Structure 1
């Protein structure tokens, strides 16, 4: 039997201000969908898994803070497990394998495919997953990978150098090279090298043997208990590059990583998303505006103009990757995030003596709730601006309607249950030593 483990990366800054510390690029609802609307990278992958007949055996692994959010964006159609800490792709894959093994959903002889959840490929790409079991058997390999023919000599992807292809369509892996310079990439392409798609397949027993060699347990609860002390491990470095018996299947169609503004811009259905417009001689420019304020570009070619509660970016499409280094040198607190229940936006911070006021907007999805939790601040105020639901206070329920105001004292348990979509303004009063977190 074949199982597919999808790894959901936590955060990224190359698509700032839309992605960041809390919101990953895989949740951006920007890609053209078959019904004429839009879909997220995660939604696209789920649709393709189902079309390829892989949906019934898929498992998503993410950080625990995004577990509910991944469930929301996958329509709660797949099991999702959460890592207690971010420890790299190898550790996440191992957690997924041990979950399947410990729960009895997979046996040692089963085939496991591991892939990134934010990959962008054509539908035929996922059909290749069905060949993994046969390729591993026919080749006698411990590991099978997917590679694709390079479209250009990119310095953003890893490369796989294959040997002579066998009759089964696979080839032995000679070597790997991670993100070479352009000149070296051209040399590798001349040697028929493939882009590494980050997809790995192996027998479950192979992962068990690797864990045993590392002195790690083969039981999911025992493995999870060790997470805090585990090093960050990459599957590429830890397994693929050390494996002496690896083969690669070649994908002839479309594959890419939409991790840059240049790549994402090429996939957008229209040049303007959100309020605003492009005017004059502005070829190849795009606008993605999540704010309620209009954003206009006039007579400026080849730029990306992106705006969200996190900030505003104006950059040449091919120079926009520099934002990652800029943000690393100038870190800022996140201002927008999503969860399984909805979204949260920080509107304002006002320093005062002896208290600081933080103003937020919370949007809660219909039939979702913020469960009761203790107020961590000196006090908290809620003003309901839209929707209907219930306020939960110390186990008691009170109806909530637009215009209603509620105040909670430090330590008081409170929550909210939405019957329809609810929007509210929250004002947190923070005294010295008060604990502050993004969502509560």
Structure 2
């Protein structure tokens, strides 16, 4: 069975700690059994490996998340890159055509797993049972349904066919997406289960469905046509119309950490970062990524979050409405993790002359490097503030250390590698400071050196 992990999300439900490039699954706020900080995607991979799954794991992610995935995942995982974010049906379809292009047997079982659910380790033992269920029942799709513990309005519900129970699974009847509390209470009385977004099916099933819909099943062609695919969830486009659905019930804990009120329930510390909470403040979580201190005085049942992207003060009860409040709000990410390290925007301004000025603090990890690149629209100045490394500027290699300054003009080819962790203050100046103005020549350090010497 192949396991496809879905990584997506717009980053708005947990703003300002998350953004378009650092969605909730990449936030390092949770802790493992040894007290080490980890993100949701790191937790899911660790739990899969504990369940015995070490091969046949794939991650689908939009292009904007590729570098943060590479930053956080050290094990060799195959990455299926979406040209842009288009919901779960396009993402799963692209993954299916990719697996087909590798020569996989069409009768191979594919299991799709979201990376942002919070579950105990034994949940993934249950996930592994889906392969047997799909093969035994010849169903279209097998799901995992969680026993509800309260009438939630945030989750979808699967209603099993009444009086039809076979072994440890149910045949599904119909779906209700996010009912109100009264409807949810009735659904629970009918034996409904929470739909936790796990899908298992034979590769052949989805490939045939794509053919019926007139969608290309050739991976390279679908990649080129990706923006033409309908932006819709897999639940609405596929699951609701499947004729033969089987549901495997799970009795343990399952949470979707999709808003501040649910995420803070699983945080082991009330304070992350530089700050303090007064003794008369209760049920408060403070998350501060800024270097300035933040204090909370006489406030209860709230979350305070501060990052380079902004500051949020919200009651925990109201926090699920954050995405609606941010509707229409667009801003370039002010903090990003990359394959080589991270950067934080310190200042941005546009002068009366039309020239833009952007100041960043950049950290390049030991042994990592920027791509060998140049720009057509901006100059850059690097001030090394800590550590040391090797810089290449227009095919000339030299060492840099704290206190050194490197001036990069339009068209200059440049890169830097950390011999230690190295921090840089970078000042960009130009008429248009955009990601598209990075023309990458080579990425791998050995390839860069071979091209020069």
Alignment of 1:206-245 (within 5 A): 206-245=205-244
Structure 2, unaligned runs of 5 or more: 439-453
Taking the TM superposition and a 5 Å limit, the aligned residue runs for 1:145-184 are 145-163=143-161, 164-184=163-183
Contact 2:356 2:433 in 1 (8 A): no
Look up the match of 1:364: 364
Once the two structures are superposed, residues 49-96 of structure 1 have per-residue CA deviations (whole angstroms, 9 ceiling, x without a partner) of: 001112312111111232232133121332222111222212211222
TM-aligned CA deviation for residue 239 of structure 1: 0.8
* CA shift for structure 1 position 398: 2.0
1:402 and 1:321 map into 2 onto residues whose CA distance is 44
How many positions carry a matched residue from both structures?
A: 436
Tell me by how many angstroms 1:246 deviates: 0.7
Aligned-pair Cα RMSD in Å: 1.7
- 8 Å contact from structure 2 (residues 308, 344) kept in 1: yes
Question: 1:15, 1:168 → 2: CA distance?
Answer: 40
Tell me how far apart the structure 2 counterparts of residues 250 and 389 of structure 1 sit (CA, whole Å). Answer: 54
Deviates more, 1:66-75 or 1:33-42: 66-75
Q: Which residue does 1:318 correspond to in 2? A: 317
Taking the aligned partners of 2:435 and 2:391, their CA distance within structure 1 comes to: 21
Task: Give the CA deviation at 1:323.
Answer: 2.4
- The alignment's TM-score, normalised by the length of structure 1, stands at 0.95
Q: How does the TM-score come out when normalised to structure 2?
A: 0.92
Alpha carbons 1:281, 1:299 under 8 Å: kept: yes
Q: Specify the alignment match of 1:30 in structure 2.
A: 29
CA distance in 2, matches of 1:261, 1:410: 43
Contact 1:67/1:81 (CA < 8 Å) preserved in 2?
Answer: no
Residue deviations 1:202-260 (CA, integer Å, cap 9, x gap): 01111111111122233322221221322223210111001011111111001111111
Q: Take 1:364 and 1:146, find their aligned partners in 2: how far apart are those partners?
A: 41
Distance in 1 (CA, whole Å) between partners of 2:170 and 2:371 is 53
Larger deviation: 420-429 or 90-99? 90-99
Question: What is aligned with 1:401?
Answer: 401
3-state SS, counterpart of residue 100 of structure 1:
helix
Specify every segment of 5 or more residues in structure 1 that has no aligned partner in the other structure, as ranges.
none
1:324 is displaced (CA, Å) by 1.7
* Aligned 8 A contact 1:261 1:318 in 2: no
- Which one is further off, 208-217 or 170-179? 208-217
Quote how far apart the aligned CAs of 1:329 are: 4.3
2:357/2:429 contact within 8 Å kept = yes
Residues 23-46 of structure 1: per-residue CA shift (max 9 Å, x gap): 111111111211122211111101
Q: Secondary structure at the match of 1:109?
A: coil
Contact 1:376-1:435 at 8 Å conserved across structures: no
